Copies of this chain bind each other. A is one copy, B any other.
Amino acid sequence: MKIPEKVINRLSLYHFILEDLKESEQFISSTKIAGLLNIDDSQVRKDLKYLENSGKCRVGYKTQELKKRIEECLGFKNKRDAFIIGAGNLGSALAKYDSFKDYGLNILAMFDKDPKKIGTSINGKEVFDFDRIANLINRLNVDIAILTVPRESAQKIANYLSGAGIKYIWNFTPCVLEVPKSVKVWNENLIGSFLQFTNDEIERS
């Protein structure tokens, strides 16, 4: 049975909580997790049922066991290679975000069209000429592209990436991409996030 996307998101948040616990905290209750995330107790218990052997016991969940089970189920150890497209501010920030590696995302290299950036390295990740990407996708068998290019060129580059064998586009641009059915786009919609979380006053008007 597949774990629903929203459950995966929450499981990763539960993992953050477990990471931050002191070593002496051997047990954690679903109530404590739910309280920290301002969600329902029953939601946490339901989510954790997706993990067999979640470490449930009389006083809650065994923290180490639960942490390990989340890691196994979400595949933190199955390294996935990715390229960052666009070595601008956001691309560089993501290249420097070392936590990704702990969760299975391995950024191999970056691509840009700017001659001043090509050949440089950001956090150990070399910036290649975008013209070389098809070749490198093929050679390194990479299927994930993290798209941080300007809005104007996003669709054109998405077309090219789809043709070159990319299967997953993590889209940080404010642009809805048209791609073939074989390609999965995940819109990291920062503007939507902002509007959602400050929406207290949004009413149908």
Q: Interface range on chain A: under 10, 10 to 19, 20 to 34, or 35 or more?
A: 35 or more
Copies of this protein in the complex: 2
Would B20 and A175 count as touching, CB distance under 8 A? yes
A90: chain B residues at CB < 8 Å are 93, 97
Tell me which of A9, A100, A185, A194 has the highest count of chain B C-beta atoms within 10 A of its own C-beta.
A194
Task: Give the CA-CA distance A96 to B89 in the complex, in Å.
Answer: 7
Would B198 and A168 count as touching, CB distance under 8 A? yes
A117 CB to nearest B CB, Å: 15
A189: chain B residues at CB < 8 Å are 9, 12-13
Which positions in A face B, CB cutoff 8 Å?
1-3, 5-6, 8-10, 12-13, 16-17, 19-20, 36-38, 50-52, 72-75, 78, 80, 88-90, 92-93, 96-97, 99-100, 103-105, 144, 151, 155, 168, 170, 174-178, 184-205
